[in-house]
């Protein structure tokens, strides 16, 4: 059974800025990896089709498939886990979430649905606006 992870995208101002940062990493020849202190205990479920759901400014607004969990070691010798991400960054229905530290598990039933992309491959409305309109019952 699949399980996802959700994570704050620290430093991102928008989904566009996260996409830009990741494009720069890939153009520089780096793989997309998020290094974290803890390895998910539910690793088999994460690797069974799980995605990293990105939270930007309190709104879960995108997901990215997880392709590998890699055991690593920090510079100080402590263990770490490298979460290797696929290059696809998929916009999802914006959903407000409480701020948290680290990453959290996200059950598939609680995961927001993917949003269709516009012809130029960008979001049709800013995620913060969509989340606020949903909360007001206007969408």
Q: Domain residue spans in the chain?
A: 4-135
Q: Which pLDDT score is estimated for 35?
A: 92
Please, are residues 34 and 7 in contact by the beta-carbon 8 Å criterion? yes
Residue in the block written with tokens 């879960």: 60
What pLDDT digit, counting tens, does each position of 49-70 carry?
999 999 999 999 999 999 999 9
54/122: higher pLDDT: 54
**Under DSSP, is residue 114 helix (H, G, I), strand (E, B) or coil?**
strand
pLDDT of residue 121: 47
pLDDT at 14 over 60: yes
Q: Give the burial string for 85-97 (b: 16+ CB within 10 Å, else e).
A: beeebebbbbbeb
Burial class (CB in 10 A: 0-12, 13-18, 19+), 3: buried
| Average pLDDT score over residue span 70-94 | 93
Q: What is the pLDDT of residue 137?
A: 61
């Amino acid at each position: 059974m699949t399980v996802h992870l959700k994570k704050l995208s620290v430093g991102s101002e928008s989904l566009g800025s996260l996409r830009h940062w990741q494009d720069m990493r890939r153009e520089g020849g780096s793989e997309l990896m998020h290094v974290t202190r803890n390895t998910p205990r539910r690793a088999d479920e994460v690797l069974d089709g799980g995605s990293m759901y990105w939270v930007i400014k309190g709104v879960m607004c995108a997901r990215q498939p997880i392709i590998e969990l890699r055991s690593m070691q920090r510079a100080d010798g402590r263990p770490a886990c490298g979460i290797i991400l696929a290059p696809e960054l998929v916009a999802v229905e914006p959903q407000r979430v409480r701020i948290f530290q680290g990453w959290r598990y996200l059950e598939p039933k609680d995961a927001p649905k993917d949003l269709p992309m516009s012809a130029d491959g960008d979001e049709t409305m800013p995620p913060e606006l969509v989340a606020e309109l949903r909360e007001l019952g206007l969408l």
